Amino acid sequence: MQEALQESIALRETILQDKDLLATAKSMAERLAATLRSGHKLLIAGNGGSAADAQHFAAELVGRYLKERRGYPAIALTADPSIVTAISNDYSFEALFSREVEALGVSGDVFVAISTSGNSKNLIAALAMARQQGLTTLGFLGRDGGEMKSRCDLAFIVPSQSTARIQEIHITLIHAICDALDQQLI
């Protein structure tokens, strides 16, 4: 346990020293604030633990983070089992998120893709659909950013090979962005 905690602390310290990563996080928060200010919504997706992070992010926005405020429009594309199973069964698992982006996304919205590898085929397809429909694309990625890196308008790439450490930073980044949104939008 001590080793895991030390790895987590070291990674956080690395990120705190990386001006490019901090600038990317700030740009993401500003982009999301502008989107919400303009009356548009966020569509958020990921697989596995990243699906849970997508739902967590949407919950913080629709509910509240720390400050009492109106709810912000955010949809976790992972949260409806009927939609997830219908699209996966009738089309393919790879088409899951792109079909939801096609149905729910409009120009001016933001699509947030969360992936520790950056190579999730269903998120890659969703990023392509989001761009086709005029959505801004953000990526919370890990490792080297994978194929998704070049498909995102902004990508925060956690410099680690450890899925657990990447997920820890993703949820910390989600909370930091929610805090920034509370400050910028209230």
The residues near 139 (Cβ < 8 Å, ≥ 6 apart) are: 112, 113, 114, 115, 118, 127, 145, 148, 149, 151, 152, 154, 155, 156, 157
The domain spans of the chain are: 2-185
Mean pLDDT in residue range 120-132? 98
Q: What is the pLDDT of residue 166?
A: 98
Average pLDDT, the chain: 97
Whole-number pLDDT of residue 57 = 98
What is the percent of the chain where pLDDT is above 90? Answer: 99
pLDDT in tens, 103-119: 999 999 999 999 999 99
* Alpha-carbon span 72 to 64, nearest angstrom: 9
- pLDDT above 70: percentage of residues in the chain: 100
CA torsion sign for 68, 33, 19, 115 is: positive
d(CA 11, CA 168): 10
Mean pLDDT of 50-56: 98
Average pLDDT of 30-58?
98
Task: Indicate the residue type of 34.
Answer: A
With 90 as the cut, is the pLDDT of residue 186 above it?
Answer: no
Homologous superfamily of the 2-185 domain (CATH): Glucose-6-phosphate isomerase like protein; domain 1 (3.40.50.10490)
- Give the SS3 label for residue 134: coil
Q: What pLDDT, on a 0 to 100 scale, did the predictor assign at position 69?
A: 93
Residue 7: which H helix or E strand, with range?
A: helix 2-17
Residue 88's pLDDT is what? 97
**Crossing angle of helices 96-104/121-132, nearest 10°?**
20
Reported as a single tens digit per residue, the pLDDT across 162-171 is 999 999 999 9
Report, in angstroms and rounded to the nearest whole number, the Rg of the chain calculated over CA atoms.
16
